[in-house]
Amino acid sequence: MSDSDSRGMRAFLDEVLDGLAVDYADIRVEESERSSVLYRGERLDSIGRSFERGGCLRVFDRGNWVVATFNAIDESLVGLAEDLARQAEELPPRESAPARLGPHEETVRLDPAQDPRTVSLADKRMLIHHYNSILTSTPGIVSTVAQYRDEHRFTVFLSSEGRFLDQERADCGFHVRAVARDGSNIQDYGDGFGKPQGFAALLHREALVERVGKVALDLLRAEPVAAGRYTVIVDPLLAAVFCHEAFGHLAEADHVVDNERLREMMRPGTPFGVEELSIVDDATMPGERGSYRYDDEGVPAGRTELIRQGRLVGLLHDRSSAGQMAAPPTGNGRALSCHFPPVVRMSNTFIEPREADVDEMLDKTERGLYICGSRGGMTELESFTFSAQYAWLVESGRKRRLVRDVTLAGNVFETMSHITDIGDDLVLFGGLGGCGKAGQGPLPVGLGAPHLRISDVVVGGR
């Protein structure tokens, strides 16, 4: 978006919000372009580009939010804004107010090397074809999925406070999955890379791809894990998913804000896990997948300590929850795209490293599991479940044999209090997928952790 386009949009959005007799209003308009290439097996399954344009208009009056998302960016928005103001007026008033900020104007532009639009679709296809070919030429791999995806987005935000933010964002990554089959035994394994560091950061990832094929084949020889309770050592990726799924979602204040019992359970100072545990959400980390300058409510990105030495010290807020809980907004009001309003979301959430060494964790484990990789996870407040890619059965401190179909479940409060060791080897992950919440997914997030050792975890298998 050029400077003159930006000024023109500002004038138009001023017109939309001008004269609304409401307590607060904001409008966010986006224009985005995406491209994707998908191979399934040796076949190019799809290749294409898409263009999105639309926005979100929000009105807050007498304690109530009324929101509309739209495609048409024209004079009809003036009427839509007036309609929303009328609808808000019809609702019974409530005691509530969003957090306010002062006027501010800023334009945020990317380094041109981060813009995936500067790379041709042919080059994108060539890269993912190359990675896919590594897998399709691996003996024993019967099928593959190899996907490249990128997005470039301009977002313009204006609030009735006089905040005008014009931001450019981009994301690109790839993911490969290999399927190995031996009769009715079908095993798959996937991995990828994605950070907003431009197309060049995706090159030279052959070792990652080769490992995907190898692990899928190894899993054919793995036995299903015996279901039961184990001491587990989880690798940084699975520990990061645990941190995100089991604790991170619980720390999103929109779950907590309206429920006095949850507010009591999540009050500052509440013991949470072991004393060595500290968890942070930080949207300001350069080059990470969950980083941004301003969230989708015009709030500056921040670094929020959530757990400090085993005690809850913070929650993640959007304007609405911050206002209701009299807390400062943390810049975590994020929307998946122009078709959605912002809700409280994580950015880059990670467990801070401590001193433990993974070999020492193994040494002191008489019988347990060393669990690796993630197939994803789900959480329903205190209950979580997430699945690993595979695990090693550990006996007398040694990794003995590979096992599969490993799923962990439990209660987050109990499980975090069962952490016995926190590693010194923090890794931050990006990827191609993301976080899902309220029908908005996958939202780019970063997640990280060092190795963890946890006692008495319920593991599902056979």
Query: Site residues for other proteins, window 248-307 (CB under 8 A)?
Result: 254, 257-259, 261-262, 265
Pick from 211, 383, 398, 400: which binds other proteins (CB under 8 A)?
383
Pick from 14, 45, 182, 424: which binds other proteins (CB under 8 A)?
45
Pick from 52, 89, 115, 360: which binds other proteins (CB under 8 A)?
52
CB 388 within 8 A of CB 199: no
Binding window for other proteins (CB under 8 A); candidates: 44-52, 302-310, 363-371, 424-432: 44-52
The phi, psi pair for 62, rounded to 5°, reads 50, 40
462 belongs to the binding site for other proteins (CB under 8 A):
yes
The phi, psi pair for 137, rounded to 5°, reads -90, 5
94 belongs to the binding site for other proteins (CB under 8 A):
yes
Pick from 114, 159, 187, 332: which binds other proteins (CB under 8 A)?
187
Residues linked to residue 282 through DSSP beta bridges, in sequence order? 303
Q: Tell me the C-alpha distance between 281 and 249, whole Å.
A: 11
2 belongs to the binding site for other proteins (CB under 8 A):
no
190 belongs to the binding site for other proteins (CB under 8 A):
no
Pick from 8, 15, 49, 107: which binds other proteins (CB under 8 A)?
49
Q: Which of residues 112 and 439 has its CB atom nearest to other proteins in the complex?
A: 439
Q: Which of residues 53 and 130 has its CB atom nearest to other proteins in the complex?
A: 53
- Residue ranges in 316-345 that form contacts with other proteins under rule CB under 8 A: 339, 341
113 belongs to the binding site for other proteins (CB under 8 A):
no
Q: Which of residues 19 and 224 has its CB atom nearest to other proteins in the complex?
A: 224
Give me the torsion for CA of 414, 441, 219, 373, rounded to 10°: -50
3-state secondary structure of 4: helix
The count of chain residues that interact with other proteins, using the rule CB under 8 A, is 81
Supply the minimum distance, in Å, between the C-beta of residue 172 and other proteins.
17
Supply the minimum distance, in Å, between the C-beta of residue 348 and other proteins.
22
Rounded to a whole number, what is the largest CA-CA distance in the chain?
73
Q: What is the distance of C-alpha 41 from the center of its chain? A: 28
DSSP 283: T
Pick from 5, 14, 15, 48: which binds other proteins (CB under 8 A)?
48
9 belongs to the binding site for other proteins (CB under 8 A):
no
Supply the minimum distance, in Å, between the C-beta of residue 264 and other proteins.
9
85 belongs to the binding site for other proteins (CB under 8 A):
no
The residue behind tokens 């431009």 is 198
CB 116 within 8 A of CB 35: yes
| Residue 330 CB neighbour total at 10 angstroms | 27
Q: Tell me the C-alpha distance between 258 and 210, whole Å.
A: 49
Q: What is the CA radius of gyration of the chain?
A: 24
The b-or-e profile of 127-155 (16+ CB within 10 A means b, else e) is bbbebbebbbebeebebbbbbbbbbbbbb
- Residue ranges in 392-451 that form contacts with other proteins under rule CB under 8 A: 404-405, 407, 409-411, 413
Binding window for other proteins (CB under 8 A); candidates: 231-239, 298-306, 424-432, 454-462: 454-462
| H/E element, 424 | none
